[in-house]
A and B are shown apart, each in its own frame.
Chain A
Amino acid sequence: MNVITQALSAIPGALIAVIVLVGLAPLAEGLLRKLKAIVHSRQGPPILQPYLDLAKLLIKEDLAPCANWIWRMAPALCLGGTIVLALFTPIGGKPPFAFSGDLLVFIYLAAIPPIAIILGAFASGNPYAYVGGSREMMVMLSVEPVMSIALLVAAIKAQSLTFAGILERSAAEPSISMGVAGIAFLLALQAQVGKLPFDIPEAEQEIMEGPFIERSGPGLALFKWALHARLMIFTALLVSIFIPWPHVANAGLSLLLTLAKMAVVLALVGVVDVVNPRLRIDQSMAYYARIVVFVAVGALIFAIVGA
Chain B
Amino acid sequence: MTSAELIAKLKERFGASVRGVSEINPNKVRVEVAPDSVAPVCEALYRDYGARFIITAGIDSRPERGCFDVDHVFSLDPDKTFVIVRASVPPDAPSLDSITPRVPAAYWAERELYDVVGVKAEGHPDPRRLIMPDDWPDDVFPLRKDVKHGDWPSLGEENADASYPWKPAPEGTSTVVVGPFFPVLEEPAQLRLYVDGERVIDCDYRGFYNHRGIEKMGDSALTYNEIPFIAERICGICGFIHSSCYCETAEEAMGIRAPRRARYIRSLMLEVERIHSHLLWLGIAGHIIGFDTVLMQAWRVREPIMWLCEKITGNRKTYGMNLVGGVRRDIPQEIQPELLEVVDRIEKETAAIIDAVVGDTVLKARLSGVGVLPEEKARELAVVGPTVRGSNLPLDARVDHPYAAYDEIPPKVITHPDCDNWARVVVRLEETIESIRWIREALKQMPDGPIMASDIPEEIPPEQWGVFVVEAPRGEAIHYVVTGGDNRPARWRVRAPTYQNLQALPYLIAQETIADVPITLGSMDPCFSCTERTEIVNVRSGESKVLDQQELLRLSREATERMRGR
Chain A positions within 8 Å of B, measured between CB atoms, are: 36, 39-42, 63, 65-67, 124-128, 131, 196-197, 199-200, 203-208, 274-283
**CB–CB A40/B296 < 8 A:** yes
Interface centre among B198, B515, B557 (most CB of A within 10 A): B515
Interface string of B173-199 (1 = CB under 8 A from A): 011110000111000000000000010
For the complex formed, measure the closest distance between the CB of B547 and the CB atoms of chain A, giving whole angstroms.
14
**CB–CB B515/A206 < 8 A:** yes
A204 to B515, CA, bound (A): 11
CB neighbours (8 Å) of A42 from chain B are 296
**CB–CB A277/B290 < 8 A:** yes
**CB–CB B515/A125 < 8 A:** no
With CB as the reference atom, state the residue of chain A lying closest to B300. A41
Query: Which secondary structure dominates where chain B touches chain A?
Result: helix
CB neighbours (8 Å) of B557 from chain A are 65-67
Interface centre among A128, A207, A277 (most CB of B within 10 A): A277
With CB as the reference atom, state the residue of chain A lying closest to B566. A127
- B1 sits at the interface (CB 8 A): no
With CB as the reference atom, state the residue of chain A lying closest to B287. A205
A40 to B190, CA, bound (A): 32
CB neighbours (8 Å) of A196 from chain B are 290-291
CB neighbours (8 Å) of B174 from chain A are 127
Interface centre among A41, A205, A278, A279 (most CB of B within 10 A): A205
For the complex formed, measure the closest distance between the CB of A174 and the CB atoms of chain B, giving whole angstroms.
31
A63 to B556, CA, bound (A): 11
- B413 sits at the interface (CB 8 A): no
CB neighbours (8 Å) of B366 from chain A are 277-280, 283
For the complex formed, measure the closest distance between the CB of B281 and the CB atoms of chain A, giving whole angstroms.
15
- B445 sits at the interface (CB 8 A): no
**CB–CB B289/A63 < 8 A:** no
Q: Can you show 22 pairs from A to B with CB atoms below 8 A apart?
A: A36-B292, A124-B560, A127-B176, A131-B176, A131-B198, A196-B291, A199-B290, A203-B290, A204-B290, A205-B183, A205-B287, A205-B288, A206-B514, A206-B517, A206-B518, A207-B514, A274-B293, A275-B293, A277-B289, A277-B362, A277-B366, A279-B366
For the complex formed, measure the closest distance between the CB of A202 and the CB atoms of chain B, giving whole angstroms.
10
**CB–CB A280/B516 < 8 A:** yes
- B17 sits at the interface (CB 8 A): no
A131 to B556, CA, bound (A): 19
**CB–CB A205/B297 < 8 A:** no
**CB–CB A66/B563 < 8 A:** no
A205 to B185, CA, bound (A): 9
A78 to B363, CA, bound (A): 33
- B546 sits at the interface (CB 8 A): no
**CB–CB A281/B176 < 8 A:** no
CB neighbours (8 Å) of A276 from chain B are 291, 362
Given A280-B513, A282-B513, decide whether A125 and B563 contact each other with a Cβ distance below 8 A: yes
In B257-316, which residues have CB < 8 Å from any A CB? 286-294, 296-297, 300
**CB–CB B365/A281 < 8 A:** no
For the complex formed, measure the closest distance between the CB of B306 and the CB atoms of chain A, giving whole angstroms.
16
For the complex formed, measure the closest distance between the CB of A134 and the CB atoms of chain B, giving whole angstroms.
8
A25 to B563, CA, bound (A): 37
For the complex formed, measure the closest distance between the CB of A254 and the CB atoms of chain B, giving whole angstroms.
36
A206 to B250, CA, bound (A): 43
- B564 sits at the interface (CB 8 A): yes
**CB–CB A279/B514 < 8 A:** no
A277 to B370, CA, bound (A): 15
With CB as the reference atom, state the residue of chain A lying closest to B181. A208
For the complex formed, measure the closest distance between the CB of A214 and the CB atoms of chain B, giving whole angstroms.
8
- B6 sits at the interface (CB 8 A): no
A275 to B557, CA, bound (A): 40
**Closest 10 interchain pairs by CB?**
A278-B290, A40-B296, A277-B291, A277-B289, A205-B184, A125-B564, A125-B560, A280-B515, A65-B560, A274-B293
CB neighbours (8 Å) of A279 from chain B are 362, 365-366
Interface centre among A63, A276, A279, A280 (most CB of B within 10 A): A280
For the complex formed, measure the closest distance between the CB of A109 and the CB atoms of chain B, giving whole angstroms.
29
Given A40-B296, A278-B515, A281-B198, 17 other A-B residues pairs in contact with their CB atoms under 8 A: A40-B297, A63-B553, A66-B560, A125-B563, A126-B560, A200-B515, A204-B183, A204-B290, A205-B183, A205-B287, A207-B514, A274-B292, A277-B363, A277-B366, A278-B366, A279-B365, A280-B516
